[in-house]
Structure 1
Amino acid sequence: MRPRPSLAEAFDPRGNALDVLRLALAVVVALTHATLLGFGWQPVWGSAYLGDLAVDGFFVLSGFLVARSYLRLGSLRRYAWHRFLRIMPGFWVCLLLVAGVVAPLAALLSGRPATSVLTGEDTALSYVTSNALLRINQLGVDGVGNPADAGDPSLDGSLWSLFYEALCYGAVAALGVLGLLHRRRWVLAALCALLWAATIAGAAGVDVGSPLVLRLLFVFLLGSAAFLFAERVPVSTALAGASLVLVAAGLHLLPDHRALAGPAFAYLLLWAVVRLPLRPRLRWDLSYGLYVYHWPVYLLLSLAGAGVLGVPAFTALGLLIAAAAATASWLLVEAPALRAKDAAWVQFPLPRATALTARLRPGAGRRKTPRS
């Protein structure tokens, strides 16, 4: 019997489903927010919103990629600079557009003057300044809200997760500086076990602090641990099927499926990375732009009364407009910013990467057995 390949053997940096999966997860988040903003409900699977599951999937994949990035770059400054360029330029431009374009249009569609967003306690200007450091301290502007949910004033309710993503980037950097990504990988495994235990305790009603930090750090570090232990993670369709059963059971039996199936959920995502047949390297990475722009698009459509089109037409129209915004964001903001990632001033040598990193570098991690 042919031995099962490991994740290290099956993962090809130049041929995997990461781009497709991230775009698909962004689409899932967009579609769940379409029903929320247009009709006041979100699709669920058991105890979780589908959008929350998609966000968790983003964090698993990010954890895998970011751990790889830290070890591959071999420089704390380069790592921090790359992470900054991937999030902040697109985020800042989005903030400016939401405050300068979306907020006035939303005011007009709400029957108020466009200039009304400049007055009051929460203004369009304070929306930018309060949120500029990535933590969303001001959700919207006075007098503008979601007509399908009067209690939600968010102009862009997707941006909240970026702050937690940055916190997870910092966690990987801290582990790297302490040498826990290069050596003593067992510490990360122990940390994941501790977070899993805390998740189980939280599901049992124990106060474990911030449930959001616990949730996102747990799934992110599961992705990072999968990279560090990739040579020990088997790629098995049977294990993927069992993982899917565990995830479904957790979603229907527990208030937090991660208490039962956190590692299973992460395994399922990473199995899909190396086993899905669609593995194109997309020249335009629209996942980030689609994620940050779909909410304001659907908000404006809802305020304009486009909900009368019905769920399929409303979601399709908004997705088309959001995809156009994501394309503009990639071509005009994100891609130009990423071209600065190799700036010479960010060079700062760190300890050499482990053999694991070399094994997963382009051209080094290909399987010796045919793909099934």
Structure 2
Amino acid sequence: MTGDGSPQPHAALSPVPAAGGGPGAGVSARQVETLAQAFDPRRNSLAVLRLGFAAVVAVAHALAVGFGWQPHLGATALGDLAVDGFFVLSGFLVTRSFLRLEAPGRFVWHRFLRIMPGFWVCLVVTALVVAPLAAVLVGRTPGSVFTAGEDPAWRYVVVNAALPVLQYEIAGIAADDGESVFDGSLWTLQYEAFCYGVVWVLGVTAVLRRERGVVLAVCVAVWAGTLLEHAGLIPFDVPLLANDQLLRFLLVFLLGAAGFLFADVVPVRASWAVMSAVVVLAGAFLPDHRVVGALSFAYLCVYGMVRLPLRWTPSWDLSYGLYVYHWPVQLLLLLAGGTALGSVAYVLVSLGAALVLAALSWVAVEGPALRLKDARPPALRPGGRRRGGPDLLV
């Protein structure tokens, strides 16, 4: 969903550079190209994949908010698959980011700038603009959202500011069908931040650089936890992070991280992609596709990253803005009677409006925030040439 938009140096992908030093270099006709050799930081399909995943989530939510259903592949919601794809790519790219940066503190600063400014402004826009408009649409005064009930607009900003979303409703406003959630897509961001913390711990303990096999062991452990949870052997009753969603997101995120760490040995084969697609399709008919298909799904994501022909890296990254703003737009459209347009028009109008807000978010908030990524005290600045580049995230 995200990225900071600055030029990337052309560098080897894996922590240990592949022979030949560039994508595809040194690969003979009989050799199988590895992920490290196939990945070009300046020419890949990451931007298209992230924006595509954000669009799938937005479409799924539009149909859910406006018409009460979501598109599924078997038993698996397509929106869930798209969010999992975000986490796979995020694990790959955030791990790369940690290993390219000079200090753990810089990593934390970059991650903060990529998530929090846009998130905070989204909260404020929802409270100061979306909520008053919603009040007018249900026949109330705009100012009532700041005083009515136990969940006023000002509280929405305050209690959600730390990232976990503790208040979804504002001033008791609800549509005729009962929909009252103002932004139902923000809840995944706390898990994204948690996964960043996992990378930070693995990085400062030198696991990422020296003991990459430990990451595979953790992947297996999280997968085993997922299996046990779905067998009913791990009951989750602790609020916030300690629940089955943590296992879900941590598994796909760490598989993306492992994809980066083992990029020098992961083959890029069309036959593997086809087999992975078959496994993912079969797993989609289970209650949780990740139990059998998580690894295959992660492979499809990184395969698409280097093999899809849509290798376009725009200067504006709209994926994050589209992700955080589409739901408030859809709620306003619902309150305005937009479902009378029909599902196709409702989806297209909400998607277009959300993209406009995403563009404004990039120009006014996200882009300026990311230009501060190297702003730190002189004592913390590393010597030598600047090594920072875009840290493309979910």
> Which moved further from structure 2: 39-48 or 15-24?
39-48
* SS state at 1:230 partner: coil
Partner in structure 2 of residue 184 of structure 1:
211
Query: What is the alpha-carbon distance in structure 2 between the residues aligned to residue 112 and residue 163 of structure 1?
Result: 33
Q: Structure 1 residues 347 and 109 mapped into 2: Cα distance closer, same or farther (>3 Å)? A: farther
Query: What is the alpha-carbon distance in structure 2 between the residues aligned to residue 52 and residue 349 of structure 1?
Result: 40
Partner in structure 2 of residue 43 of structure 1:
71
Query: What is the alpha-carbon distance in structure 2 between the residues aligned to residue 166 and residue 208 of structure 1?
Result: 24
The CA deviation at 1:134 is: 0.7
Say if 1:77 and 1:347, in contact at 8 Å, map to a contact too.
no
1:157 pairs, out of 174, 181, 184, with: 184
Q: Which digits, 9 at most, give the CA deviation of each residue in 1:226-284, with x for residues without a partner?
A: 101110110011000100100110111x2111110111000000000000001111111
In the TM superposition, 1:1-80 aligns within 5 A as 2-80=30-108
> Which moved further from structure 2: 32-41 or 108-117?
108-117
Counterpart of 1:124, as a letter, is A
In the TM superposition, 1:118-137 aligns within 5 A as 118-119=146-147, 120-137=149-166
Say if 1:76 and 1:348, in contact at 8 Å, map to a contact too.
no
Partner in structure 2 of residue 267 of structure 1:
299
TM-score using structure 1 length: 0.91
Say if 2:146 and 2:171, in contact at 8 Å, map to a contact too.
no
Counterpart of 2:288, as a letter, is D
Partner in structure 2 of residue 323 of structure 1:
355
Partner in structure 2 of residue 111 of structure 1:
139
Say if 1:61 and 1:270, in contact at 8 Å, map to a contact too.
yes
* SS state at 2:234 partner: coil
The CA deviation at 1:342 is: 1.0
Say if 1:28 and 1:54, in contact at 8 Å, map to a contact too.
yes
Say if 1:75 and 1:349, in contact at 8 Å, map to a contact too.
no
Partner in structure 1 of residue 343 of structure 2:
311
Q: Structure 1 residues 21 and 187 mapped into 2: Cα distance closer, same or farther (>3 Å)? A: same
Q: Which digits, 9 at most, give the CA deviation of each residue in 1:31-55, with x for residues without a partner?
A: 0011111111111111221111111
Whether 1:247 aligns to 2:276 is no
Counterpart of 1:127, as a letter, is Y
| Structure 2 unaligned residues grouped into runs of 5+ | 1-28, 237-242
Partner in structure 2 of residue 237 of structure 1:
270
2:194 pairs, out of 155, 160, 167, with: 167
| Structure 1 unaligned residues grouped into runs of 5+ | 351-357, 363-372
Whether 1:292 aligns to 2:321 is no
Query: What is the alpha-carbon distance in structure 2 between the residues aligned to residue 102 and residue 39 of structure 1?
Result: 21
In the TM superposition, 1:83-122 aligns within 5 A as 83-119=111-147, 120-122=149-151
Say if 2:203 and 2:209, in contact at 8 Å, map to a contact too.
yes
The CA deviation at 1:142 is: 2.5
Say if 1:37 and 1:147, in contact at 8 Å, map to a contact too.
no
Counterpart of 2:233, as a letter, is V
Say if 2:153 and 2:170, in contact at 8 Å, map to a contact too.
yes
Query: What is the alpha-carbon distance in structure 2 between the residues aligned to residue 147 and residue 242 of structure 1?
Result: 46
The CA deviation at 1:199 is: 1.4
Higher helix share: 1
Partner in structure 2 of residue 203 of structure 1:
230
Q: Which digits, 9 at most, give the CA deviation of each residue in 1:341-365, with x for residues without a partner?
A: 1113287599xxxxxxx9xx99xxx
Query: What is the alpha-carbon distance in structure 2 between the residues aligned to residue 179 and residue 301 of structure 1?
Result: 49
Query: What is the alpha-carbon distance in structure 2 between the residues aligned to residue 259 and residue 72 of structure 1?
Result: 32
2:368 pairs, out of 316, 336, 361, with: 336
Q: Structure 1 residues 93 and 242 mapped into 2: Cα distance closer, same or farther (>3 Å)? A: same
* SS state at 2:264 partner: helix
Indicate the percent of aligned positions where both proteins have the same amino acid: 55
Partner in structure 2 of residue 140 of structure 1:
169
The CA deviation at 1:204 is: 2.2
When the two chains are superposed, the root-mean-square deviation of aligned CA atoms in Å is: 1.7
TM-score using structure 2 length: 0.86
* SS state at 2:208 partner: coil
Give the length in aligned residue pairs: 350
